[in-house]
Amino acid sequence: MLKFVYLAIVAFVLVLITVNMFRKKNNFFFQLDAAIVMVTLLLRLLLIK
């Protein structure tokens, strides 16, 4: 049960980062940082360690 809550929080943060990444279209370094964080969260969401 606790695992699903954790995965839901990770998925929510991933969605927030994705939305924020597409709002800041002019800043390449911000998008790069967001993409790196998104990759790590996506791997964590898919339970790949």
Task: Identify the pLDDT of residue 23.
Answer: 85
Where in the sequence is the domain holding 11, given as residue range(s)?
2-45
The pLDDT value given to residue 49: 64
Q: Would you give per-residue pLDDT tens digits along the chain (49 residues)?
A: 999 999 999 999 999 999 988 887 788 888 889 899 999 999 998 987 6
Q: Measured between alpha carbons, how far is 18 from 8 in angstroms, rounded to an integer?
A: 15
Classify residue 46 by burial, with Cβ atoms within 10 Å: 0-12, 13-18, 19+. exposed
pLDDT at 25: 76
> Contact 10/41 with Cβ under 8 angstroms?
yes
Per the structure, how many domains does the chain have?
1
Q: pTM (2 decimals)?
A: 0.80
